Structure 1
Amino acid sequence: MTGGDDDGWRASADAWVREQGEHGDYGRAHVLDPVMIPRLRGRGFQTALDVGCGEGRFCRIMAAEGIRATGIDPTPELLAVARDRDPAGDYRAGRAEALDFPDASFDLVVSYLTLIDIPDIAAAIPEMARVLKPGGSLLIANLTSFTSASADRGWQYDAEGRPDHFALDRYLETRPMRVGWRGIEIANWHRPLSAYMRLFLKAGLRLAWFDEPAPTGGPADQAARYARVPYFVAMEWHHTGITDADDGGTAR
């Protein structure tokens, strides 16, 4: 979450907290957590930054894995919930585009479904790389770009009301969009996958893991729908300390 006065997050905070509960919505609990949480274990991570921590759910997960996590978010209503649920946690107001931390501060930086909320990823992604220690990891979960390209159309139904296909349009066009469900009305950004990949590479990051995770349990109807259209992509990037400017323009 990246909250602000005009992106809908402050007005949607209560509905968001109800939707997520303690364990997250279907996509988090049954699709992303099963691949994201194992990336935390046995890796020696001691410090982590959760960029767009919202109500603090993934910070609490990292703390349970023995990682000292700091969460940032610009939505005060969500930070208040995070602090209430985790009084010992470290939750601060902040934005991804200008991280208020020294260089090389964290072993791990996490962006869990927040890249789509950030207007200026050309500033945010280098900032995430900057605060990583050399050899550190940037762990990403995001909507697949063909899902975000379809957000204003989504599932198309047949004459019997059954989901027939998932519409996709204007894939290569970066654009903001308004999305709404169950009392939540927020601004998201669609970008092609290449826009993200170029920025990760330019920031001196090396791709170490990539997945389009399948659903793992939960209500059968939701699992079937998520199995037909992979909504999410998950990635881990490692900090190499070499940017495209350092090696003559060829990112590594």
Structure 2
Amino acid sequence: MIYQQPLAYLLGVEGLALLHAWAGDNGLDQRFVTARLAEIRRLLDDETLSAHPGVLVERDATGTAYQQWAAGYDDPGNGLFDLDQPVVEEILDSLPVGTGVRTAVDAACGTGRLSAPLVDRGYRVVGVDGSPDMLARARRRLPGTELLAGDLARLPVSDGSADLVVTGLALTHVADLVPVFAEFARVLRPGGDLVVSDVHHDLVLLGSVVKAVGAAGQAQLATTHRHTTADFLRAALATGFRVRRYEERPRPAAPEEPLPEATPEPNPEPTKGISDWRDWPWSLLGLVPDATRAAWNHPAVAVWHFQLG
């Protein structure tokens, strides 16, 4: 079980903002620090926040989370798609076109978000996902595409049969990356390409986790892990991959630049509402907009291009 309490989250955001100021991030001056300290005092004095009982949250509800999210997964508003997909497609554009003879595996294909541009580029696509509800959406989106039920660590694909493997925003749900990368290496031909996007571990820490509501109304979270750059490198190098490209989006501001106006989520407007747990942390960010802007100055997605051998 995880215990989540809104005041605790807001104080954590304030603390991260103060650490950015401590490190000398541009624009976070004495006035900013003084304002944060005063805001912390106000938060602590807010009886609505301090008296909130918090929420006990169950872990490892990935299946339920994606069953409930499937219907709205492709709706506008998932800002991570706008960050990772342009980089993924830029990498795809650097590779040979499919011309109907090259095979691409979309591992954890979901609703077919990344399968669609592969089809457009002429690949024979095999999509694999563990969620029946997400696969049903993919089948409606991509009729005629081979879409199979399966697990990332046991892909229903023959050895050495793929020229390309892609996977988008899924590896955060995997505890150990090594078996998954070994499976990617198994299905790829020598010299094959692997394109991976994932939720950046800093964004997971800030609370960007897929939620669910259990049958009895209980709060639940999808299984989520914070994989660092080193975790990806260890898994990739151990299974025969070499790095061709790595991007983090949005990039942190350079020291001489002002903090970006845009955060991975829209910069919040001040609000006084706590809202329902299902809206946390997004409904809380507007309570401390200046601290949020500083604390959320981190990458949101990481995109890798690996090559086998």
TM-score (norm 2): 0.59
3-state SS of paired residue (2:118) = helix
- The amino acid that maps onto 1:202 is A
Stretches of structure 2 lacking an aligned partner (at least 5 in a row): 1-58, 214-218, 252-260, 268-292
Match of 2:243 among 207, 218, 236: 207
Deviates more, 1:54-63 or 1:199-208: 54-63
3-state SS of paired residue (1:197) = helix
How far does residue 38 in structure 1 lie from its aligned partner after superposition? Answer: 1.5
* Counterpart position of 2:229: 193
1:141–1:233 contact (8 Å) kept in structure 2: yes
Show structure 1 runs of 4+ deviating over 4 A.
181-184, 223-227
1:48–1:108 contact (8 Å) kept in structure 2: yes
How many angstroms apart in 2 are the aligned matches of 1:105 and 1:24?
A: 36
3-state SS of paired residue (1:17) = helix
Say which structure, 1 or 2, has more relative contact order (CA 8 Å, 6+ apart).
2
How far does residue 180 in structure 1 lie from its aligned partner after superposition? Answer: 2.5
Deviations 1:111-155 (A, max 9, x none): 21111112342211111011111111110111223333x145x7x
How many angstroms apart in 2 are the aligned matches of 1:73 and 1:120?
A: 18
- Taking a change above 3 Å as real, the CA distance of residues 32 and 184 of structure 1, as seen in their structure-2 partners, is farther
Match of 2:79 among 3, 6, 26: 26
2:188 maps to 1:132:
yes
2:160–2:186 contact (8 Å) kept in structure 1: yes
How far does residue 204 in structure 1 lie from its aligned partner after superposition? Answer: 0.8
1:214–1:227 contact (8 Å) kept in structure 2: no
3-state SS of paired residue (1:140) = strand
Relative to its length, the structure with more helix (as a share) is: 2
Q: Which of the two has higher C-alpha Rg?
A: 2
- The amino acid that maps onto 1:237 is F
2:151 maps to 1:115:
no
Match of 2:301 among 228, 232, 239: 232
Deviations 1:24-56 (A, max 9, x none): 72111x211111112112522421111111111
Relative to its length, the structure with more strand (as a share) is: 1
3-state SS of paired residue (1:188) = coil
- The amino acid that maps onto 2:177 is I
* Counterpart position of 1:144: 200
- Taking a change above 3 Å as real, the CA distance of residues 135 and 151 of structure 1, as seen in their structure-2 partners, is same
2:61–2:223 contact (8 Å) kept in structure 1: yes
- Taking a change above 3 Å as real, the CA distance of residues 93 and 210 of structure 1, as seen in their structure-2 partners, is same
Equivalent residues, number: 206
* Counterpart position of 2:211: 180
3-state SS of paired residue (2:222) = strand
* Counterpart position of 1:95: 151
- Taking a change above 3 Å as real, the CA distance of residues 147 and 220 of structure 1, as seen in their structure-2 partners, is closer
3-state SS of paired residue (1:57) = coil
2:64–2:212 contact (8 Å) kept in structure 1: no
- The amino acid that maps onto 1:39 is I
* Counterpart position of 1:9: 62
Deviations 1:67-91 (A, max 9, x none): 2211111111211121122221111
How many angstroms apart in 1 are the aligned matches of 2:166 and 2:156?
A: 16
1:9–1:75 contact (8 Å) kept in structure 2: no
Deviations 1:218-238 (A, max 9, x none): x96736669822111111011
How many angstroms apart in 2 are the aligned matches of 1:95 and 1:20?
A: 20
- Taking a change above 3 Å as real, the CA distance of residues 80 and 144 of structure 1, as seen in their structure-2 partners, is same
How many angstroms apart in 2 are the aligned matches of 1:34 and 1:237?
A: 17
Match of 1:55 among 95, 102, 111: 111
How many angstroms apart in 2 are the aligned matches of 1:96 and 1:124?
A: 6
How far does residue 58 in structure 1 lie from its aligned partner after superposition? Answer: 1.1
Stretches of structure 1 lacking an aligned partner (at least 5 in a row): 1-5, 155-177, 241-252
Match of 1:35 among 76, 87, 96: 87
1:49–1:110 contact (8 Å) kept in structure 2: yes
